[in-house]
């Protein structure tokens, strides 16, 4: 048996001002019980502009909600207009950084090589990268889902030793399931999570593969989370749309009840 703790992450994407974020985090806090945090790491990833306010409200009320960011540059500082570095995030008490999200790959030219550089920077700053992988609909229909995910993993973790790979989490997010209301079946999600773990054995070793948390993302809601989480290799969820509503997100966190 493994002792991987559940990890439920709300990816707010480009939603919520810093004022909205304070309210959303307070509401989420009131809807969760202390016991919930015994079983689950609860993370919200607001836009950069809301992180400072989020940190302040979390610390002031001693909340157990953890903070995530949605990207990080690979350099610590320098002439990179518009970018935010990993140490800057770490100083805002950010614990997790989402990297290589399909929206970044699709709209902002994110590549596996860049994901690799960002992953190193985030690890170097002592935070946990959540490396996103996933195939498009046409890749799935062409029977390429595993080869696409396998090569994304090899790219993201290139030249990283097992210890560093073991300090990451992975989110499997089939592109066709994101924001579409069309969730992968628990079987498909579970099979891909198992494939990801097998690939981690090849990239690193079996201890590392057992340790890394593999999340599923793509139209997760309170109605489907339980069946997804029942799969042996699925350790959590990366939640977009439903994470913007504190009631819905709390229900996802509390899926066991
Ligand atoms: P969704 O987004 O839950 O709205 O499908 C998931 C994600 O993109 O992380």
pLDDT in tens, 14-49: 999 999 999 999 999 999 999 999 999 999 999 999
Question: What's the mean per-residue pLDDT of the chain?
Answer: 97
Domain encompassing residue 125: 6-253
Rg (CA), the chain: 17
Q: What is the pLDDT of residues 124-150, one digit of tens each?
A: 999 999 999 999 999 999 999 999 999
CA of 238 to the centre of ligand 1 (A): 7
DSSP-assigned letter for residue 207: H
Q: Which two tokens stand for residue 242?
A: 């439903």
- Is residue 123 one of the residues assigned to a domain? yes
254-189-223 Cα angle (round to 5): 35
CA distance 69 to 46: 6
Q: What is the pLDDT of residues 151-178, one digit of tens each?
A: 999 999 999 999 999 999 999 999 999 9
CB 142 within 8 A of CB 66: no
Percent of the chain residues past pLDDT 70, beyond the cut? 99
CA contacts within 13 A on the Cβ side of 142: 8
Is the C-beta atom of 178 inside 6 A of ligand 1? yes
Atom 6, ligand 1: residue with shortest CA distance: 240
Query: Among all residues, which ones are annotated catalytic?
Result: 101, 173
- Is residue 1 one of the residues assigned to a domain? no
pTM value? 0.97
- CA-to-CA separations, 145 to 10, 37, 69, 135, in angstroms, rounded: 25, 34, 27, 5
Residue 2, Cβ density class (10 Å: 0-12 exposed, 13-18 middle, ≥19 buried): exposed
Contacts of 22 (CB under 8 A, 6+ apart): 53, 54, 57
Identify the band that residue 2 occupies on the pLDDT scale cut at 50, 70 and 90: low
CA of 14 to the centre of ligand 1 (A): 12
Atom of ligand 1 nearest to the CA of 181: 5
- Is residue 39 one of the residues assigned to a domain? yes
- Is residue 241 one of the residues assigned to a domain? yes
CA distance 153 to 157: 6
Atom 3, ligand 1: residue with shortest CA distance: 240
CA distance 106 to 81: 21
Atom 9, ligand 1: residue with shortest CA distance: 240
Percent of the chain residues past pLDDT 90, beyond the cut? 97
Q: What are phi and psi of 144, to 5 degrees?
A: -105, 5
User: What pLDDT is recorded for position 3?
Assistant: 84
CB 240 within 8 A of CB 8: no
Is the C-beta atom of 217 inside 6 A of ligand 1? yes
Atom of ligand 1 nearest to the CA of 217: 6
CA distance 80 to 226: 42
| pLDDT beyond 50 at 1 | no
Mutate to test the pocket of ligand 1, among 219, 228, 244, 249 (most ligand atoms within 8 A of CB): 219
CA distance 145 to 143: 6
- Is residue 182 one of the residues assigned to a domain? yes
Atom 2, ligand 1: residue with shortest CA distance: 240
User: What CATH code is carried by the domain that includes residue 52?
Assistant: 3.20.20.70
User: What pLDDT is recorded for position 89?
Assistant: 98
- Is residue 161 one of the residues assigned to a domain? yes
Is the C-beta atom of 70 inside 6 A of ligand 1? no
Q: What are phi and psi of 91, to 5 degrees?
A: -70, -15
Cβ atoms < 10 Å from Cβ of 255: 21
Is the C-beta atom of 174 inside 6 A of ligand 1? no
DSSP letters for 126-139: T-EEEEEE---HHH
Buried b (16+ CB within 10 A) or exposed e, 45-65: bbbbebbebbbebbeeeebeb
Q: Structural domain tally of the chain?
A: 1
């Amino acid at each position: 048996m493994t002792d991987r703790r559940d990890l439920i992450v709300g990816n707010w994407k480009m939603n919520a001002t810093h004022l909205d974020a304070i309210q959303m985090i307070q509401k989420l806090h009131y809807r969760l019980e202390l016991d919930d945090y015994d079983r689950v790491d609860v993370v919200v990833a607001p836009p950069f502009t809301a992180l400072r306010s989020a940190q302040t409200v979390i610390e002031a009320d001693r909340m157990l909600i953890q903070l995530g960011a949605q990207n990080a540059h690979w350099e610590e500082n320098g002439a990179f207009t518009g970018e935010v570095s990993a140490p800057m995030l770490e100083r805002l008490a950010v614990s997790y950084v989402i990297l290589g999200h399909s929206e970044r790959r699709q709209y902002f030219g994110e590549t596996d090589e860049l994901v690799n550089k960002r992953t190193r920077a985030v690890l170097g700053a002592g935070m946990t990268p959540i490396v996103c992988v996933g195939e498009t609909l046409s890749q799935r229909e062409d029977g390429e889902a595993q080869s696409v995910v396998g090569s994304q993993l090899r790219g993201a973790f290139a030249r990283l030793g097992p210890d560093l790979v073991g300090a990451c989490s992975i989110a499997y997010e089939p592109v066709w399931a994101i924001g579409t209301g069309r969730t992968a079946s628990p079987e498909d999600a579970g099979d891909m999570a198992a494939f990801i773990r097998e690939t981690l054995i090849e990239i690193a070793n079996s201890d590392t593969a057992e340790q890394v948390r593999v999340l599923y993302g793509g139209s997760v809601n309170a109605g489907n989370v339980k069946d997804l989480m029942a799969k042996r290799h699925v350790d959590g969820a990366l939640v977009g749309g439903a994470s913007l509503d504190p009631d819905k997100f709390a229900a996802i966190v509390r899926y066991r009840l």
